[in-house]
Structure 1
Amino acid sequence: MTRSLFIFSLLLFSIAASAQNTQGDLAVQREAENDPAPFASQLQSSVRDTNKVNLLCKIARICWYQRTVENHAVDSTLLFARRAYALSRDINFTEGHNEAVFLICKVLLERAHIDQALKLADEVYGEEKVRLLLIIAEPYVFHQPPSDKEFAKAMPLIEKAVKLSAQAHSLRWTNECLNLLAKLYFNKGDVVLGKHYFMDIINNYHHLKDYNNEAKYWSRLAEYMPENNKTYTEMIHSYERAVYYYLLAGNKKEAGYSLRDLALIRTNFNQTAQAGQDQMKMLSLFKEIHEQLSPTTYFQLSEYYQITGKYDLALSYALGGLKAAGDNLDKRINPARALGTTYGFLKDYKNAVKYSKIAFDYDAERNSPNMFLSCYRVVTFLTAGGNAGQALLFLNKFLAAHSLSSISYQQIYASCYGTIYNALGNYAEADRYYRQMMSLEEAANRENGERIGHHFTMTGGYAYYLMGKFYVERGRYKQSRSYLIKSLDNPHYGDKDQEFDTYKLLFKVDSALANYVSAIRYFERHKAMADSINNVETANKISALNIQYETAEKTKDIRLLENKQKLQLAAVQKADTIRNFTIGASVLLLLLASSAYLGYRDKQRSNRQLQLQQNEINVQNAALQTLLMQKDDFLNEKDELLDEKDGLLKEKDWLLKEVHHRVKNNLQIIMSLLRTQLAHLKNEDAKDAIMDSENRVQAIALIHQKLYSTENVASVSMPAYVADLVNHLTDGLQTPDKKVKVQQSVEPIHLDLAQAVPIGLILNEAITNSLKYGANESGVDITITFRCMEGANALLIIADKGRGLPSDFDLATSKSLGMQLMKGLSKQLKGCFNISSGPGVTVTIEFKLLSLLSAVKMTS
């Protein structure tokens, strides 16, 4: 792409075009919270509106930052993003739809499903489509070598994004396109053109007097420019401009962070005095605006003091970083790296290995490129601590699983093998690997000037130092001297400890070569550095810091053990409470069922009394018919008796409806109590038990609701009841990926209360089991059949198409509460219960209908 394409794109601003605006960035927003569980529990009670979409997206973003190589957090990200996607489309919520599509696209790219990501990008337009095109192009830019044909696939995507940005009249997204173009050219080794595109962005914001964004892109220019001896002056200049324009915009916080990054670059190139001044300015700005030092800032301050040989301050800032990070593992890792390196400088290799392994495990679990640096440090400290054999095993295992994709990595690990074999006494192999390390020096230096992010390198003084030190140890003084001198002439990424040791080695070399004047000069330099690095005051400070830290860690461990004991005791008490509450709820449920049954018996007794009264009335009516013309007072008595009969019948129906209504309300109270208990539980088994109990209560409540809400108070219509029960149990389970299909074939059977309650509970248990365990690839498919048989019998069948029962399942010995309930309720009906498998699970109950309701079925 040339500059003419960018100019042409800007001309397209005059073209009218619709724009689907987006406030999002190219990276997934990091939430302040780390645990998605509290938010996931809110979903059940959430209304299907824009707030629910935002909640689903928030959960997806939290899961995104918890993903590792082993866990399934990326699957959770996709699950919640797809739910947000479906709901946002249903309610026409564009902003939520855009964020959901972006998150789904991120997951697809994580799994290398580029074609699916491109297809998804076709669903959006305007700024949102630009956003997706850029995140699809990013993996080609950053994860593919410039020589690979895959790298070339990035350019058409970026060009299309540029045109769409112009059509959408979006300067912001045009600048984002240029930003990615600049990084692409930096990775190709074209520093001039990469810088050119960054300057286009900077000039755009400068003309608008948007100094805050101008400063941001000065900082990005420095951050992404390949780093070597040719480019570091431009990087320093860019960070200086960033500081200037942030201060001009009044953004002291970001000015402070740019000063921090500026100090890091100066330190890397041995400008330690200026770096120290930059850090003092940074700390002054942060103090002025009350900005707390972040763990990353502590980490960089620790690195600075490592390089300058002030190990007491390096240790202090590393420990400060751990304290600032608290219990947040993501934030604790950089301070842990700093601690490992600092202990390495202090020759405390046990602690150096300990903290470096913490960093390595974290990086390897997330497949982070930082694992190459972490592995190098573990191997180096193991070797220096006298465990070269263990270091060799560790390194071989790591490299067997990870290929070295860059020349810098090849050079670094050649040095590792050289150091290990030297420590093992295999000097021929050590010499071979060290010479291999030096043969890669020029190519590695060139690579560092061509690609973004290659700051983990040995180029500069360190490779020369290792080679010179090895030759001194072998007594090859003439060969060693030139390497040691070059290490001092090229101090890129050097440190005071290396310089200190180099003077000592040169003193030894010149003494052996009879260059006594030069030898004395190097000895004086070595002695002067020894006085500043290893003085007693510094050693005492380091010792005090170690004691303070170890005491704090032991106190923390004791508190953790105490808290763990308290949590275990609370868990036991909670389990007892849950068990007691469940037993109590079950007893209450049985009492209510018994009460309902007694109410039904009272209703039958009232019916018999009313029938006797009706017979008496009929007799009296017959007598009154014969005496109608003779006895007017008999007519009056008849009218009174008829009125009394109608009143009693109405009162009977009203009383029965009131009984059913009150029973239903009592059951609703029980369900509310169960839901309240559920909100305070953490144990998943306890939650499932409470939810199952709630469904059982709901199954009975629906029966009483049917009885008081219809004219027929004597029986329950099973087609309507089954439909309502299915809707209750499956509500909220339907998703784009998981379909819940329930086929109902229920004849117009009416059951009285004595049979309706057991049948309702059996239906609840069987359907719940199918929803939990009867899923197949397409979802859940359930069939419910309820029909009359010969001899006034009824047959109920609930079947699913899932994976079926376990091969060793035995109904007679099953201890499942659901199975026990269904068997017990079938006995109450005096019916036959059977459960079979293959394919799926089929539950069958055959029982005899009561004669009265059989007649209802026949007449209907």
Structure 2
Amino acid sequence: MKLTTFHVLIVVLMSPYLVQSQSFGEKQVSDLNQELAKLIYSDTESADSLAHVIIRIAQREFLKEEEARSHRYLALMYLLNGKLEEAKVSYTQNLDIALESNNNLWIGKAYYYLSEVTQRQGDDVLTLEYLFKALSFIEDTKDINTLAKIHSSLGTHYRKTGDIEKTEMYYNHALNIRKDQKDSMGLFNSYVLFGTLYSSVNLYDKAKQNYIESLNFINSDVRSPNLGAVYSNLGAVYFQEQNLDSAMLFYDLAVKEYEKSGDVYSKIAVHNNIAALRNEQGDYKGAITTTLAVIGLAKEIDAKKLLSSLYYNLSGNYKALKDFEKSFYYYKLSDSIDYELTNKEKNAQLAELQVQYETEKKDKEIALQNIALVKGSAQRNLLIAGISGLIIISLIIYRALARKKRSNRLLTEQKYLVEKREKEKALLLRELHHRVKNNFQIVSSLLNLQYYDTEDLKAAQAIKSGQARVEAMSMIHRELYQSENITSIEMGDYVKHMIENTAYSFQYESEQIDVLVEVDNKPLSVKYAIPLGIIVNELVTNSFKHAFETVSRPMLSVSIKINEEKGTVSIVVFDNGPGIPDSSHISKSSFGMELIRDLVKQIKGTLSIDSQAGAKFSVDFPLIEEESNVEG
């Protein structure tokens, strides 16, 4: 029986009657699913209604494969329209049916489909778990195409984490499979992925070569979303090369392709890129308009990582327009989403530890039950044999084993509780750093607003200096709550970010100044990191404020050396300015220098100043282990 759109409409309108009374065969339900597959690209409302009718019919007729098929089509429709939670629910229902079937191919595909949703939701932990589960089931089947897709997705995961070696390995696995199969659609996707990889490591010629190679495999099987991805990626490459007109051309083509296909998520992502391009052109208002146009869509589809990026870019554009109130507002929104996603990953890891512990506990209980059964059987045999002495020995051995098992179990439980408490403490400390950083950020924003409302030049400069000091402390706490180690910090990234922010505040572009940063890649305790950060901030600010006005090519060098054997830290900040006329008479009324001296004294260090060729400030201090204040 050939079904038409008219038949589909009748099925939907009469669904209550059909579900309750009309008998459907497997062939008829399969035909309905074929119509559903067409509708998801053209009429989503009708597709949604038809899918639920088919699911009810399939459940009544016990047609599990057709029921799962409807869930998959429904999930794909939700995915294309950016409804990620709805897609996850439908793919989870498909997985539940697959698990009942014990069919490895079906189960592997179900896990792969779920990974596509969690990847878009930004849940990297769950995505990797689903992909490896999919791989373990699919490897035992002959489904080469799905195997290639899983390898591609694994490569993409490792590309995002910066593991280029694993990325190339998985991408090449997928490419070789698709070459053997002469799979046009697969080859198209593989070359697009390689283009994205090379673009991410700034190999733009190789990136363009792969994107253009992918276009050779365009045919009727390659749908519009895939073509949109190529245009979007080519736009990104031209953007990186600062060929902004070509970048805008390809971004516009990508938006048109995504609008044709209804791929809302990708459409938002391209608009975000267009906003960044307009920011680069100095069109901050245009960038804001572009971003605000898709904020609502991003909220609607619950694309948290994408929404965070949109908020962050809005913050930057409002900052460029000196609208600091809105800039701070959108920065807070972005930061809160990032914090939520970070905590989600940590909670997932804690939940996994909990499951492992409960599983181990149940295994031990089962083992004890088995020992009891063996013991009972042995007792009966011994009674029959009449060897009472062996019974006594067995009881003694059993009791000894039971005591040992009990002790081991108690030790395991105590270890788990200790680990759990430590992880809870770490989460609380991370939350504390996050809140401290937010409070510093609020103070910084209030000082910034006050700065623009202050007409007295000297007072304004004092406010700006105060803001810089608050930012220096805020950055320390930001680095701490974002890192795995919450009690120490590697100063390299901190110093680079601090110099960039200071240069920006004094209106220096990166190409206008030579900056040399040499920082040992070793963690430093918070006890020293905070005063050290403020000292370096004061000295760097001093260079930008006083040293570079008469220098044609400014140069700034910051060095932090940590000698763990000797237990010492050496800081050197040097600039090529005119130097200090008489270093022994540096203004003691200067708050900055007084602050530096007080902080150096606090960490039991020494400060020396050399002004022979520019200004050179050296600070040396010992690393003293903190004594425990906890009573035994």
Q: TM-score range by the shorter chain?
A: 0.3 to 0.5
Task: Normalising by structure 1, report the TM-score.
Answer: 0.35
